[in-house]
C-alpha cells in the first residue's frame, strides 16, 4: 500500500484501543484541543511522534496577539477585533479566509484571558507592536518562551490525569463504512531516525480525530514541490520533525489543501548558524532599521531594508546567494541591543575599518564605499533616492567605526497553507463538504493567515482553533 493513504475500516482486523477523541500533536493547538475535549466530557488520547511534548511550539518565543485586553487598556492602547482583522487581511494580501479570521479575532481576547485565568500563564507586563500590527497588541509569555505556555497546558493535563503518549506516530487515518474518520493506525514506540522500529496499533476514535500536527517547514520534498526555490539549500527555523505526513494523510482522506505554496521565510536569518539562532536580533533590529543590505558580488544595495519579510526574502532568493547586512558602531550603540553573544558565536563580525569588512566578505571595496556615500547622502536629501527606505528616528549616516557585518540568507519559518477547515474546525473536502469525524487546528490548517502571517498571530490561532476543535469533537460527532 502507498504510504500515508487512508485505510477503510473493513480492512481493520481489530481495534487495539477505543477512545472518544484522538489528538495528533502536542503543541499549542493539540494540548488546547485535548484540554477542551476533556472538559466537555470526552476521553482523549494525545499522540506525539517525538520523545517529548511541545513540538515546534516549545521553541517559539511565546508571543501572542489579542485586541481589547486589559493590558492594552492599562497602557492606554485603543484596539478592536475589527482593527486586528484588517491588519491580518492586509498582511495576508487578502487571501485569508475572512470567516476564519473573524473567529480568530473575535475569540482572541477571551482565549488570551483563558490562558491567564484558567491555565495560569504569566506574561511580561508590556504590550509590543510587531511589524504589520497597527497598534501594540502582542504579549510575551514569561521567559520569552513558548515553553511557558506549554508547561502550563501540561500541568492542566496532569490535573486531569491526562498524558501525552510519546513516540506515537500517526500512520493512516481510518475511514468507516458510514463515511467518517473513525480512527488512526499508530506506529507505537516510533523512532523517527529508525522508522522501521516499533509496531502498529489501531486506535478507534468514537467521536473523532483532531489533527494538530503543525506545519511542514522542515519537509524539503513537500515544500519544494509547492515552492521550487525552497530546496535543501534553504535552512529552516523549525525543528527537523516539522514534516508533512499528517497533511498528506488528510489530503489522501479527501481533505482540501489550501494555499500550500504560501510559505513564510525569515530574511533576518544567518547561514552561519543553525535554526533561528542569535543573528536575527542584530539583523532585524539594527541592520534593517539603521544599516544596509549589500550584495557582496556588486557591492550595491538591492532593496529597501525596511520592506516586509516576504519582500526581503524574495529579493534575497532572486539574487541567489547570501547578502551582507552592515551597520556601524553608532547604530549598535543607539539601538540599545547587546550583541555580544552573536559576536562570540561569530555570526556577527566586528571590523575596525570598512576596508577590513569589505575584504572579509569579498565585497568590491570601492563599490561599497560608493554605495554608502550614496546612502549617507539620503540624510542630507531627506529621502533614500535609491530604494525609498524610510529614514527612521535616530537613523544616521553610516560613518562611525567599528563596522559590524552579518551574512543573511532566508530560512523557512512558517507554512501558511494546509488543510481546509470551517469555523467549527471541521476539515472540509474538495467539494466544500465536511469530512465527518475529522477536525484540525493550528499550523496544519490553511487559510487563516493568507499569503503572509503576522508575528504573534500563530499562538492565537493555535489556542483559539485548538479549543474550538476540542469542544466540537467532543460534542458534534459520533462515529
Between 54 and 450, name the residue whose CB sits nearer to a second copy. Answer: 450
Contact flags string 52-91 toward a second copy, x per CB under 8 A: ----------------------------------------
384 near a second copy (CB under 8 A): no
Between 153 and 313, name the residue whose CB sits nearer to a second copy. Answer: 313
Between 88 and 395, name the residue whose CB sits nearer to a second copy. Answer: 88
Cell 519559518, residue located: 413
Q: Which of residues 431-450 bind a second copy (CB under 8 A)?
A: 431-433, 447
226 near a second copy (CB under 8 A): yes
Cα dihedral 153→157→163→167 (10° resolution):
-10
261 near a second copy (CB under 8 A): yes
Between 52 and 93, name the residue whose CB sits nearer to a second copy. Answer: 93
- At 348, give phi and psi (nearest 5°): -100, 140
How many whole angstroms separate alpha carbon 443 and alpha carbon 462? 7
Contact 329, 336 (CB under 8 A): no
* Closest distance of CB 395 from a second copy, Å: 24
3 near a second copy (CB under 8 A): yes
Q: Which of residues 176-195 bind a second copy (CB under 8 A)?
A: 179
* Binding residue (CB under 8 A) for a second copy from 52, 221, 392, 399: 221
Contact flags string 307-346 toward a second copy, x per CB under 8 A: -------x--xx----------------------------
Contact 442, 448 (CB under 8 A): no
How many whole angstroms separate alpha carbon 137 and alpha carbon 123? 13
229 near a second copy (CB under 8 A): yes
* Closest distance of CB 454 from a second copy, Å: 17
232 near a second copy (CB under 8 A): no
* Binding residue (CB under 8 A) for a second copy from 41, 228, 336, 382: 228
Which one from 223, 301, 309, 420 is the annotated catalytic residue? 309
- Relative orientation angle of helices 28-39 and 457-475, to the nearest 10 degrees: 30
Q: Which of residues 133-172 bind a second copy (CB under 8 A)?
A: none
259 near a second copy (CB under 8 A): yes
* Binding residue (CB under 8 A) for a second copy from 173, 256, 372, 474: 256
Cα dihedral 67→68→70→75 (10° resolution):
80
Between 4 and 283, name the residue whose CB sits nearer to a second copy. Answer: 4
252 near a second copy (CB under 8 A): yes
Between 93 and 399, name the residue whose CB sits nearer to a second copy. Answer: 93
* Closest distance of CB 345 from a second copy, Å: 31
Between 3 and 122, name the residue whose CB sits nearer to a second copy. Answer: 3
254 near a second copy (CB under 8 A): yes
* Binding residue (CB under 8 A) for a second copy from 18, 144, 225, 399: 225
Between 227 and 235, name the residue whose CB sits nearer to a second copy. Answer: 227
202 near a second copy (CB under 8 A): no
Q: Which of residues 411-430 bind a second copy (CB under 8 A)?
A: 417, 420, 428-430
* Binding residue (CB under 8 A) for a second copy from 73, 78, 82, 98: 98
381 near a second copy (CB under 8 A): no
Q: Write out the chain in H/E/C secondary structure.
A: CCCCCCEEHHHCCCCCEEEEEEEECCCHHHHHHHHHHHHCCCCEEEECCCCCCCCCHHHCCCEEECCCCHHHHHCCCCCCHHHHHHHHHHHCCCCCCHHHHHHHHHHHHHHHHHHHHCCCCCECCCCECCCCCCCCCEEEEHHHCHHHHHHHHHHHHHHCCCCEECCCEEEEEEECCCCCEEEEEEEECCCCCCCCCCEEEEEEEEEEEEECCCCCCCCHHHHHHHCCCCCCCCCECCCCCCCCHHHHHHHHCCECEECCCCEEEECCCCCCCCCCCCHHHHHHHHHHHHCEEEECCCCEECCCCCCCHHHHHHHHHHHCCCEEEEEEHHHHHHHCCCCHHHHHCCCEEEECCHHHHHHHHCCCHHHHHHHHHHHHHHHHHCCCCCCCCCCCCCCCCCCCCCEEEEEECCEEEEECCEECECCCCEEEECCCCEEEEEEECHHHECCCCCCCCCCCHHHHHHHHHHHHHHHHHHHCCCC
Between 244 and 358, name the residue whose CB sits nearer to a second copy. Answer: 244
137 is a catalytic site residue? no
* Closest distance of CB 246 from a second copy, Å: 12
Q: Which residues are catalytic?
A: 309
Residues contributing to the site for a second copy (CB under 8 A) = 2-5, 93-98, 179, 221-222, 225-229, 244, 248, 251-252, 254, 256-262, 314, 317-318, 417, 420, 428-433, 447
Amino acid at each position: 500500500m502507498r504510504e500515508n493513504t487512508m485505510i477503510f475500516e473493513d480492512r481493520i482486523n481489530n481495534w487495539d484501543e477505543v477512545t472518544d477523541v484522538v489528538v495528533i500533536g502536542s503543541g499549542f493547538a493539540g494540548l488546547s484541543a485535548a484540554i477542551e475535549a476533556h472538559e466537555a466530557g470526552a476521553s482523549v488520547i494525545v499522540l506525539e511522534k517525538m520523545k517529548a511534548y511541545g513540538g515546534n511550539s516549545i521553541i517559539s518565543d511565546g508571543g501572542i496577539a489579542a485586541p481589547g485586553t486589559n493590558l492594552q487598556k492599562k497602557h492606554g492602547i485603543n484596539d478592536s477585533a475589527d482593527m486586528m482583522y484588517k491588519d491580518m487581511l492586509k498582511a495576508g494580501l487578502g487571501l485569508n479566509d475572512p470567516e476564519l479570521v473573524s473567529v480568530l479575532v473575535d475569540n482572541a481576547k477571551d482565549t488570551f484571558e483563558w490562558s491567564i485565568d484558567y491555565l495560569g500563564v504569566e506574561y511580561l507586563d508590556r504590550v509590543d507592536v510587531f511589524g504589520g500590527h497597527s497598534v501594540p497588541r502582542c504579549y510575551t509569555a514569561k521567559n520569552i518562551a513558548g515553553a511557558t505556555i506549554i508547561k502550563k497546558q501540561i500541568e492542566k493535563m496532569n490535573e486531569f490525569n491526562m498524558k501525552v503518549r510519546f513516540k506515537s506516530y500517526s500512520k493512516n487515518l481510518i475511514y468507516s463504512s458510514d463515511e467518517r474518520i473513525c480512527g488512526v493506525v499508530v506506529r507505537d514506540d516510533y523512532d523517527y531516525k529508525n522508522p522501521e522500529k516499533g509496531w502498529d496499533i489501531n486506535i478507534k476514535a468514537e467521536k473523532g480525530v483532531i489533527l494538530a500536527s503543525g506545519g511542514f517547514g522542515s519537509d524539503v520534498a513537500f515544500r519544494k514541490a509547492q515552492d521550487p526555490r525552497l530546496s535543501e539549500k534553504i535552512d529552516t527555523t523549525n525543528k527537523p520533525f516539522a514534516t508533512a505526513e499528517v497533511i498528506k494523510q488528510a489530503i489522501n482522506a479527501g481533505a482540501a489543501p489550501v494555499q500550500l505554496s504560501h510559505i513564510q521565510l525569515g530574511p533576518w536569518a544567518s547561514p552561519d548558524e543553525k535554526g533561528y539562532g542569535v543573528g536575527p536580533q542584530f539583523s532585524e533590529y539594527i541592520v534593517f532599521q539603521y544599516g544596509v543590505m549589500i550584495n557582496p558580488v556588486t557591492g550595491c544595495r538591492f532593496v529597501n531594508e525596511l520592506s516586509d519579510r516576504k519582500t526581503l526574502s524574495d529579493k534575497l532568493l532572486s539574487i541567489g546567494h547570501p547578502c551582507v547586512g552592515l551597520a556601524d558602531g553608532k547604530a549598535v550603540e543607539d539601538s540599545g541591543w547587546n550583541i555580544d553573544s552573536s559576536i562570540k558565536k561569530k555570526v556577527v563580525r566586528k571590523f575596525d575599518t570598512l576596508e577590513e569588512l569589505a575584504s572579509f566578505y569579498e565585497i568590491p571595496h570601492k563599490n561599497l564605499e560608493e554605495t554608502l556615500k550614496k546612502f549617507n547622502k539620503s540624510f542630507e536629501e531627506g529621502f533614500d533616492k535609491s530604494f525609498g527606505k524610510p529614514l527612521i528616528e535616530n537613523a544616521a549616516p553610516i560613518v562611525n567605526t567599528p563596522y559590524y557585518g552579518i551574512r543573511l540568507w532566508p530560512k523557512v519559518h512558517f507554512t501558511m497553507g494546509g488543510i481546509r477547515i470551517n469555523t467549527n474546525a471541521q476539515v472540509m473536502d474538495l467539494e466544500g463538504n465536511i469530512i465527518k469525524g475529522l477536525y484540525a487546528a493550528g499550523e496544519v490548517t490553511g487559510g487563516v493567515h493568507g499569503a503572509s502571517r503576522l508575528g504573534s498571530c500563530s499562538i492565537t490561532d493555535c489556542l483559539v482553533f485548538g479549543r474550538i476543535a476540542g469542544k466540537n469533537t467532543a460534542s458534534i460527532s459520533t462515529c
